[in-house]
Structure 1
Amino acid sequence: MPSPQSHWSAIVAMVLATGLFAASDSLMKLTAQGLQPFQVLFMRGLFGMISCGLILIVTGQARQLGGALHWRVVLRGVLETAATFFYMAALSAMPIADAIAIGQTAPLLVIVALAVIFRERIPALRLALVCAGFLGAILVAQPGGSGLSPAALYAFATAMVVATRDLLTRGTPSTIPAFVVITTTNVLLTLATGGATMIHESWMPPSIQQWLTMVASGFIVTLGQIAIFLSYRRAPASVVAPYYYSFTVWAVTAGFLVWGEVPNGLAVIGMVLIVTSGLALLFVKARRRQEAVA
């Protein structure tokens, strides 16, 4: 059984991971201001793929690369690629904090999907928390008279695809190493964005600074994936999962430091609702599991 000390180290790893993801996304958003979106994704995916490949070799997990062909691993990579496409479209046109906050409604969508598709009954409290989370997302998106902006729609599409990924890949065999799964996703993302760049964009020669920024972004996102992996290895998911919502805090910080973005009052209320409802849902789920065991 993991010790309380390992729980603290796992929590630190989770908070560090979300900070690294926010830093990587910030670098990607900065680079996208001077290059094509698919091109930026291709560059980050390329260096992320190289980083993961090196980790596979160092850890010895390369011997288990056959697991990359498992249909759930491939499906996860395809859905992750689609989610990244939508997320990049949202990130290019809206504040990073807003894009991440809306994206964090994915767990709420999973609950709704379980109720609709698998006829799972949602208790009144959980339903109220889900509704509160979606209300928060609407406050962050702040639709005008013509409805949601395209960027907000892309952010909601990101959450929907992530929820679909989580539903359809829940049964991925635990015998397949985490970095085999991550590498598969990076390979599929790099191939897809490379193809999209050739078909839909004109390659813009990156400057040395832009290349270095994408090298850093790819390396940082890999470090974040390592931190997530270590976090779930050192403590139960029920302990560390709530701290994934620190992503929103990091995103607000990055938006302010890099672009001077300050969310308005409605957006702040919306972010608080999303984070609070997500944390409360995790707490309710943990309590129900404890009661079932008792």
Structure 2
Amino acid sequence: MTNSTNLRAILAMVISMGTFVTSDSCMKLALQHAPLFQLVLMRGIASISLCLALILAMGQGPDLKRMFDKWLVGRGLLEVVANFSFTIALGFIAIADLTAIAQTCPLFVLMGAWAFRGERLDLPRWGLVLLGIVGALLVAQPGTGAVSPFAFLAFITAIASAARDLMTPNVPRGMPPLVATFTVLVMLALAGLVGTLAFETQVVPTTRDILLMALAGATGVAGHFLLYMTYRIGEARTVAPFMYTLTIWAVISGLILFGDVPNLLAVSGMVLVALAGLAIIWLDGRQRREEARLAVEAQA
């Protein structure tokens, strides 16, 4: 796998995290009026409609029957677990604490890639991953709420997300990315439907709610599509640490939409995340150059 391929995967990861934050920001704005699971369903309807339109426009309609592939269904189930574990925990833990815990996901990805897929991880790379976690903690600045028993759900979010990403390379080659995205979106919408019927009293959505969920659906489609492509074209050990950019996007969103100004610790954390990511790119490039040199010498 070439450096340029991994760089494209890294860019896809960074943009993916930004689109997910945009979707969540729309959800937070709409939660001022409508209940959570109803909004999840509304967002699901919007995202499914858009994704289906794109699939049909690209002539991939016949591939929809492949959406029931076991690996795609497995990814969808894990996404539902991650999404709703995060949502439930949010009702009991401060969002800063929850985000800090959930940002351990890249570490679980790298550990899984090392344990189950044989990807080599040296000590410098492990050190940079841990540096990224420290940076995420500085940005989120968790307090005593992190010791809540519900923090267990936050770890479930991280582990389920990591398992989802590690499962992605098992999806059969040739599977259209939009079909893979469609499977996840359908399963999330069904989970929202079950949740709103079982636990909520529905309200009549306002025009503002509908527009926010339409935007949330569109950015959700983009996020899941890009995340799927990230792990299809890039190596987990290289791209996983860039999931930390989710925290940076969240700080930017909070600053612009909600007036949350990051303090010095948060800025320091963002710098650490950026440095860790850039260092991993440099290490990966150096390793590939060394491997290429050894290959040339072996052929000489």
TM-score by length of 1: 0.78
Say if 1:227 and 1:72 are closer, same or farther in 2 by CA, change over 3 A: closer
- The 1:80/1:230 distance shift into structure 2, 3 A limit, reads closer
Cα distance in structure 2, aligned partners of 1:150 and 1:268 = 29
Q: Residue deviations 1:145-182, cap 9 Å, x none?
A: 46445786655443222111122332111211000000
Contiguous gaps of at least 5 residues in structure 2: 294-300
- How far residue 82 of structure 1 moved from its aligned partner, in angstroms, is 1.6
- In structure 1, the residue matched to 2:296 is none
Provide the rounded CA distance (Å) in 2 between the counterparts of 1:45 and 1:273. Answer: 35
Give the corresponding residue for 2:280.
Answer: 281
Identity %: 38
Q: For residues 148 and 141 of structure 1, what CA distance do their matches in structure 2 show? A: 15
1:28 Cα deviation (Å)?
Answer: 0.9
Q: Per-residue deviation at 1:286?
A: 4.0
Q: Which amino acid aligns with 1:163?
A: A
Q: Does the Cα contact within 8 Å between 1:94 and 1:151 map onto a contact in 2?
A: no
Q: Which residue of 1 aligns with 2:158?
A: 159
Give yes or no for contact 2:76–2:188 (8 Å, CA) kept in 1: yes
User: 3-state SS of the aligned residue for 2:172?
Assistant: coil
In structure 2, C-alpha distance between the alignment counterparts of 1:153 and 1:262, rounded to whole Å? 29
Counterpart of 1:110 in structure 2 is 109
SS at match of 1:163: helix
Code of the aligned partner of 1:217: A
CA distance in 1, matches of 2:12, 2:163: 26
The answer to whether the aligner puts 1:45 opposite 2:58 as a matched pair is no
Give the whole-Å Cα distance in 2 for the aligned partners of 1:88 and 1:276.
30
Identify the residue that residue 20 of structure 2 maps to in structure 1.
21
Q: Which residue of 2 aligns with 1:293?
A: 292
Report the RMSD for the aligned CA atoms in angstroms.
3.8
Counterpart Cα distance in 1 of 2:276 and 2:152: 21
Work out the CA distance in 2 between the residues paired with 1:232 and 1:121.
17
Q: Retained in 1: the 8 A contact 2:168–2:228?
A: no
Aligned pair in 2 of structure 1 residues 30, 179: CA closer, same or farther (>3 Å)?
same
The whole-number CA distance in structure 2 between the counterparts of 1:110 and 1:8 is 18
- Counterparts of residues 144-293 of structure 1 (less than 5 Å): 144-145=143-144, 147-148=146-147, 154-224=153-223, 237=234, 241=239, 246-293=245-292
Counterpart amino acid of residue 56 in structure 1 = I
Change (3 A) 1:174 1:193: same
> Is contact 1:37-1:89 (8 Å) kept?
no
The SS at the match of 1:35 is coil
2:23–2:220 CA contact under 8 A, matched in 1:
yes
SS at match of 1:262: coil
Q: Which residue does 2:85 correspond to in 1?
A: 86
Give the 3 Å change call, closer, same or farther, for CA 271–151 of structure 1 in structure 2: farther
Q: State how 1:46-85 maps to structure 2 within 5 Å.
A: 46-85=45-84
Q: Which residue pairs with 2:297 in the alignment?
A: none
* SS at 1:33 equivalent: coil
1:230 to 1:74, Cα distance in 2 relative to 1, 3 A: closer
Contact between 1:102 and 1:140, CA under 8 Å: does it hold in 2?
no
| Equivalent residues, number | 288
- How many angstroms apart in 2 are the aligned matches of 1:162 and 1:226? 15
| 1:282–1:106 distance in 2 versus 1, CA, 3 Å | farther
Q: 1:141 to 1:13 in 2, by over 3 A?
A: closer
Distance 1:143 1:220, change over 3 A: closer
Whether the 8 Å contact between 1:141 and 1:152 is mirrored in structure 2 is no
TM-score by length of 2: 0.77
**In the superposition, relative to structure 1, how do residues 190 and 220 fare at CA in structure 2: closer, same or farther (>3 Å)?**
same
